[in-house]
Every structure is written in C-alpha cells, then in structure tokens.
Amino acid sequence: MKRLVAILLLSVMLSLGVASCTTSKAPDTIRIGYLANITGDGAVWGQAEVNGAKMAVEEINKAGGVLGKQIELFVGDARGNATDGVNAIKKLIEQDKVVAVLGSNYSGINLACAPIVEAAKIPQIGSFPTNPKVTVDEKGNVRPYSFRLCFIDPYQGKVLADFMVKDLAKKKAAILYEVTSDYSVGLSEYFEKRLTELGGEVVAKLAFKQGDVDFRPQLSEIKQKNPEVLLLPNLYKEIALAAKQARELGMSEVIFMGGDGYSNTMLEMAGEELQGSYWVSHFSWEDPGLRGLLEKYTAKYGDTNPEPNAAMGYDIVYFLVDAIKRAGTTDGPALKDAIENAKEVKLQHAVITMDPKTHNPLNKLAAIHVVQGDKIRFLKNYAPQD
C-alpha cells in the first residue's frame, strides 16, 4: 500500500514537473540571462552590472521591446567562482530558457562556461573577462558561442608596460600576483613580456593565493630588490591590502600600478597609500560621452560614483538587442552570427566592431587613471605604439 501511494505521488509530481516545463517552453517574452557575481568578493561590480542591465531592459521595454516582444532579464549568481558560475549558467539555460547570456566579468568563470554555451548553442557575451582564452581556445580556434565586449589581458599588460617605460620612465618592476586567478597570472605574464621587450626588468615576482589577506612575507622579499614600480594585477581588496602593507614595511617610494581590478572602494581602505598610483581600465565616467548615462543611473539608484561596470551592464544589453534585431530571430546559431558580424554598433562607452576571428572587439582604447586625493581620476586614453 505504502509503495502504491509512493508511486502515485511520484507520478503526480513528475506530471506536474512536465506540465511546468511545457508551459515555460514557449514564453511570450524574450528571455535574457545575466551571469553576475551578486554575492562574494566581487559583488560590488556584479550588482552594478545588473543595475545597469535592468535600466537598459526597462528602457527598451518602454520603447516597445524587440521583435514585438518584451524583454525579461534573469540574473544568475556566479558568486565569484567557476563552480557556482557553471551552476548558475546551467540554470539560466536549462530552466529559465534564456536566448543569450550576458556577463560575467571574470575570466575564470567564462572559461568554465564556454563548453556549456557551445553545447547549448546559446551565445554568451562577457563584460570584462580579459583573459584571451575566454574566446579563443589553446589551439587558436575561436570558441563559437563565446564573446566579450572588453579588451584582453595582453593588451592591458602591454599598455601598463608601455606607460611605465615611456611615460613614467621607470625600468625596474616587481609583481605580486594571485596564483589562483587566470586574470592575474595572465596579466603578469603579458606585462613581463612587454617590459622585457622595452628593455625593462622584473626584479621580483611573488605569488599569493585566493583568500589571502597578509602579503608581508612576499612584500618583505620584494622590498629587498628595490623595485621602482610594484605591479598589482589583482582585485581591489588585495590591491588595497598590499599597498597598505607595502607602505607599512617601509616601501615609501615605490609606485603602484595595476589593471582593471581596481575599484573606488579601495580608496576607503587605503586612500593614503594609493596616492599617485596608476590604473588601466576600459573607460572612464569622466568621458563626456558617458555623462548622460551617469546622470540616469544616479537618478535611478542614487549612486553618484558607481563602478564603471554599470555602464557595461547597460551597454551589453543594447549590444545584444541590436544583434537580435539584425538576426530577426532569437535562434541561437542565427543570433551568434549576428553578434559575430556586429559592425560599428554605437554604444554609450564605445563603438563596437566585433572581430569574427577572435570574438574580441576591435581597436578599443584603454583609459589610464591616477589616484589623486579621494578620487581615481581619468588621466588619458592610451593606445600602445608598436
């Protein structure tokens, strides 16, 4: 009897499950997924991206949607790591039935997602995953369904080394990098390669692990080598802590530099220590082209100095919508082709032409920032000279 009841219950549950699947199969909206780090260390950026994306979706829906349908945004939380990222993107694709996934901003997460989106034939457009392998595999073949809207680490490393040698006239650098991060390892390598080409030298290169907060042992060793520049190709928490500890250990002259892992938050943590440090990033709010967007964002969310990710979250939605319009369908392969052939798509932060061979945007400028007072100021746009 008990078994019979169990079987009955099970079949009821199964049929309910099937029923709910069938209802969700033909949505009358266009479903877009956004993979972001809503919790964890990177939540500052993830939340800004999702806020920006939500704003864009609202605007587009108000203007009548796309292909006659309204857009619905589904957010998956990658929590800053590849495991949760894979779970979240699987849920977006399999349960939420999204037609494309936007984000994330981490290379490690998008690398792990690449085989999944390829198998599902759902395009994924990363916001800031800067590691080259995110869109091109080890053999040099392009990953068909993986894209990004940012420049890549070799470019960032190149900009940093160029700026250091040509603009700052420094030659001796040390690197403190995170060995568990694809982003950090990649950026260090490309910086080192370019610096050596330009006649400079990396005098010390030491590593730490994800979750570490004390870098004194490594920094004490770096101090012995007297570098002029300390490259911190890390995320803002580690940057702030490392800068603080370096100064405490008496490295008073060294100039800190780093990539787009910086954030305004680090000035609350180590504002004094980071004075005069240089940071490469994708674009700046001080760019006049972004003023309108900044005002809209501030009016909606009350944040006067948001992370630049907010602009990317906003733009990436418009970029995808442009591709959907050109494709005339949300069918995976057709949508992928439309993204691949994007030409001079005007967004708020840049004009994007996609390179079909690498799935990277072509010729993006880098913005150099300097910390002055209580702000990270835009210094200039920069393109390395070959």
Partner 1 sequence: MILSRVLQQLVNGLSIGSIYALIAVGYSLIYSILRFSNFAHGSFLVVGAYAGFFIVTAMSIPFIPAVLLAILTAGLAAVTTERVAYRPIRERNSPTLYFIIASMGIAIFCEHTIVATIGPKFRTYPRVLAATGVDLGLVSMSKMDVMAAFMAFLFLIVLQYFITRTKQGCAIQAASYDLQAAGLMGVNVNRLVGTVFLIAGILAGLSGVFLGMKYTVYPQLGYLTIKAFVAAIFGGLGSLPGAIAGSLLLGVMEAFIAAFLSSQLRDLFVFSLLIAVLLVKPGGLMGKYVEEKV
**CB 47 to partner 1: min, Å:** 8
In the complex with partner 1, the residue whose CB is nearer, 223 or 369, is 223
Residue 83 found at the interface with partner 1 (CB under 8 A):
no
Of 83-91, 246-254, 302-310, 345-353, the window that binds partner 1 (rule: CB under 8 A) is 246-254
Token pair of 298 as six digits: 């501030």
**CB 309 to partner 1: min, Å:** 14
Of 17-25, 160-168, 217-225, 362-370, the window that binds partner 1 (rule: CB under 8 A) is 217-225
In the complex with partner 1, the residue whose CB is nearer, 119 or 213, is 213
Euclidean distance between the first and final Cα of the chain, in Å?
Answer: 80
User: 166-185: which residues touch partner 1 (CB under 8 A)?
Assistant: 179
In the complex with partner 1, the residue whose CB is nearer, 273 or 315, is 273
**CB 118 to partner 1: min, Å:** 31
User: 7-66: which residues touch partner 1 (CB under 8 A)?
Assistant: 39-41, 43-44
Task: Select from 224, 305, 341, 372 the one that contacts partner 1 (CB under 8 A).
Answer: 224
In the complex with partner 1, the residue whose CB is nearer, 17 or 217, is 217
Task: Select from 155, 191, 208, 278 the one that contacts partner 1 (CB under 8 A).
Answer: 208
At 166 the three-state DSSP class reads helix
Element at 46 (helix H, strand E):
helix 43-62
**CB 208 to partner 1: min, Å:** 7
Q: Nearest CA to 112 among 127, 98, 129, 99?
A: 129
In the complex with partner 1, the residue whose CB is nearer, 244 or 326, is 244
Q: How many residues touch partner 1 (CB under 8 A)?
A: 32
Token pair of 222 as six digits: 């770096």
Task: Select from 88, 241, 371, 376 the one that contacts partner 1 (CB under 8 A).
Answer: 241
**CB 88 to partner 1: min, Å:** 16
Contacts 24+ apart (CB under 8 A), 190-196: 190/153, 190/154, 190/156, 190/157, 190/158, 191/157, 191/158, 191/160, 191/161, 191/231, 191/233, 192/157, 193/157, 194/157, 194/158, 194/160, 194/161, 194/162, 194/384, 195/161, 195/164, 195/165
Of 3-11, 83-91, 214-222, 289-297, the window that binds partner 1 (rule: CB under 8 A) is 214-222
Cα–Cα distance, 267 to 339 (Å, whole number): 37
**CB 225 to partner 1: min, Å:** 11
DSSP state of 211: T
Within the chain, strands assigned E span 29-36, 70-77, 100-103, 124-126, 146-148, 172-178, 201-208, 229-231, 255-258, 278-281, 345-346, 351-352, 366-372, 375-382
Residue 276 found at the interface with partner 1 (CB under 8 A):
no
Residue with tokens 């030491």: 206
In the complex with partner 1, the residue whose CB is nearer, 218 or 348, is 218
Residue 249 found at the interface with partner 1 (CB under 8 A):
yes
Cα–Cα distance, 229 to 124 (Å, whole number): 37
Task: Select from 273, 307, 315, 340 the one that contacts partner 1 (CB under 8 A).
Answer: 273
**CB 74 to partner 1: min, Å:** 20
Q: Is the dihedral of CA 337, 74, 57, 298 positive or negative?
A: negative
Q: Nearest CA to 204 among 172, 239, 232, 159?
A: 172
Of 10-18, 132-140, 215-223, 288-296, the window that binds partner 1 (rule: CB under 8 A) is 215-223
Task: Select from 216, 325, 343, 346 the one that contacts partner 1 (CB under 8 A).
Answer: 216
Angle between helices 43-62 and 291-301 (to 10 degrees): 100
Cα–Cα distance, 6 to 11 (Å, whole number): 9
For 253-298, the DSSP string reads SPEEEE-TT--THHHHHHTTTTTT-EEEES--TTSGGGHHHHHHHH
Residue 203 found at the interface with partner 1 (CB under 8 A):
no
Task: Select from 60, 86, 203, 206 the one that contacts partner 1 (CB under 8 A).
Answer: 206
Q: Which residues bind partner 1 (CB under 8 A)?
A: 39-41, 43-44, 179, 206-209, 211, 213-214, 216-218, 220-221, 224, 237, 240-241, 244, 247-250, 265, 268-269, 272-273
